[in-house]
Amino acid sequence: MNTFVLYLLSAATAYFLTATLLPVLQRYTLRNLADRPGGLKTHKRPVSAIGGSGILAGVLGSLTLIRLCTNFPSGTLHNLRGIFIGGALIFVMGILDDTRKPKGLPISCKLIFQAAATAALIYYDVVIHVFSTPWLNIPLTFLWVVGLTNAFNLLDIMDGLCVSQAVVCTLGLAIIALPSEFIYVNFAALALLGACLAFWPHNHAQKHKIFLGDSGSNFLGFLLAAISLGTGYSRHSDLGFLAPLFILAVPLFDTFFVSFARLLKGKNPLRGSNDHAALRLKTAGWKPKRIVLAYIGAGLFFNSLAFALTRCTPLTALALFLVAFLWLSICTFWLLMLRTS
């Protein structure tokens, strides 16, 4: 079967499975797995938090079908096992956290799950390859995966915000990875894209709204972190391996900003507060749809920088990073000036 057709099949299968399963899951889990109002949560009634279950089923079902339709190159399934095992651990962690609301799991317990999931990736050779010494790459991999897993969890504070960033980041990874030999990244990215597109409308629905839940937001962050480690970025530029910093710049910046804002107030950066950039914009009078669109625009801007980075000279790459630094610095200063309540 033609490779392009297989790519379309991967995305379409994930979309169909997620779109089909979500209404069924929502009907039978609302009582036991719901996100209830309180604290920073402004919705007025309990909302089903099973979006992660639908996305997980869509992605795994799609990749299983693709496995039956084609023979992956040698070593591909080895990498995928790490992603499957790690993703399953993150999903279980999220489900346990969702069922223990409003307190949720202790932070230490979450870190143990995330460390175990990252260890599964490393065991199956899904790891950052920056340094020639493996012992330098391993702690960097832990920092990257755990950081992004939590970044997407922090981003899930507004309808469509987290899933729209997952779509933008997945598109960036797919466009850069499609020409590469890392075929499992291509299929995993497109499967995740299809599942997220199927979930997105449910996140905005008025009558039968569905949330990602911690199981969904953490799974998105983990999977994006994992597949970003598996693609080739440096075929045209020696600095292309830094492209994921641009592709995932918006969730990374959001995490940096909320942590920095809390520290400036003398708060624990690991404790919830209304210091999120999106919540500051909402307090300033921005409508939620406008905020989501602004985040999408920022994501597309940084994805264009990532694409340029994979094809430019070192001097141009330096200029791209300077532009990004100045833009983010201006955004940080402006957002800090906005009220938080």
Q: Residue 180's pLDDT is what?
A: 59
- Is there a single domain that holds both residue 145 and residue 285? no
- Is there a single domain that holds both residue 100 and residue 49? yes
Choice between 132 and 211, residue whose per-residue pLDDT is larger? 211
- Is there a single domain that holds both residue 215 and residue 294? no
Q: Residue 134's pLDDT is what?
A: 79
The yes-or-no verdict on residue 312 having pLDDT over 90 is: no
> Which one of 183, 215, 232 terminates a domain?
232
The yes-or-no verdict on residue 43 having pLDDT over 60 is: no
The yes-or-no verdict on residue 36 having pLDDT over 70 is: no
- Is there a single domain that holds both residue 66 and residue 212? yes
Residue range 148-191, pLDDT digits in tens: 999 999 999 999 999 999 999 999 988 876 665 566 678 888 99
- Is there a single domain that holds both residue 42 and residue 156? yes
Helix, strand, coil abundance in the chain, percent, nearest 5:
70, 0, 25
- Is there a single domain that holds both residue 19 and residue 55? yes
The yes-or-no verdict on residue 82 having pLDDT over 70 is: yes
Residue range 1-27, pLDDT digits in tens: 677 788 889 999 999 999 999 988 887
Q: How far, in Å, CA of 84 to CA of 216, rounded?
A: 15
pLDDT tier, 73 (very low <50, low <70, confident <90, very high otherwise): low
Q: Residue 103's pLDDT is what?
A: 79
- Is there a single domain that holds both residue 117 and residue 191? yes
Mean local confidence (pLDDT), 76-100? 88
Residue range 119-147, pLDDT digits in tens: 999 999 889 888 877 788 999 999 999 99
Q: Which residues, including other chains, have CB under 8 Å from residue 36's CB and lie 6 or more apart?
A: 46, 101, 102
> Which one of 232, 264, 289 terminates a domain?
232
- Is there a single domain that holds both residue 276 and residue 205? no
- Is there a single domain that holds both residue 183 and residue 271? no
pLDDT tier, 205 (very low <50, low <70, confident <90, very high otherwise): confident
- Is there a single domain that holds both residue 118 and residue 192? yes
> Which one of 179, 213, 232 terminates a domain?
232
Find tokens 């569905």 and name the residue: 210
- Is there a single domain that holds both residue 274 and residue 257? yes
- Is there a single domain that holds both residue 168 and residue 245? no
Mean local confidence (pLDDT), 89-112? 89
Q: How far, in Å, CA of 77 to CA of 71, rounded?
A: 10
Angle between the 76-99 and 183-204 helix axes, to the nearest 10 degrees? 30
Residue 62 near residue 202, CB atoms below 8 Å = no
Number of folded domains that form the chain = 2
Q: Residue 188's pLDDT is what?
A: 87
* Three-class DSSP category at 114: helix
Distances (CA, A) of 81 to 45, 56, 95, 149: 39, 15, 21, 18
Burial of 261 (0-12, 13-18, 19+ CB in 10 A): buried
Q: Residue 340's pLDDT is what?
A: 72
Q: Which residues, including other chains, have CB under 8 Å from residue 212's CB and lie 6 or more apart?
A: 49, 51, 52, 55, 156, 162, 163, 199, 203, 220
Structural domain of 279: 236-341
Q: How far, in Å, CA of 131 to CA of 298, rounded?
A: 30
Q: For the whole model, what pTM was predicted?
A: 0.92
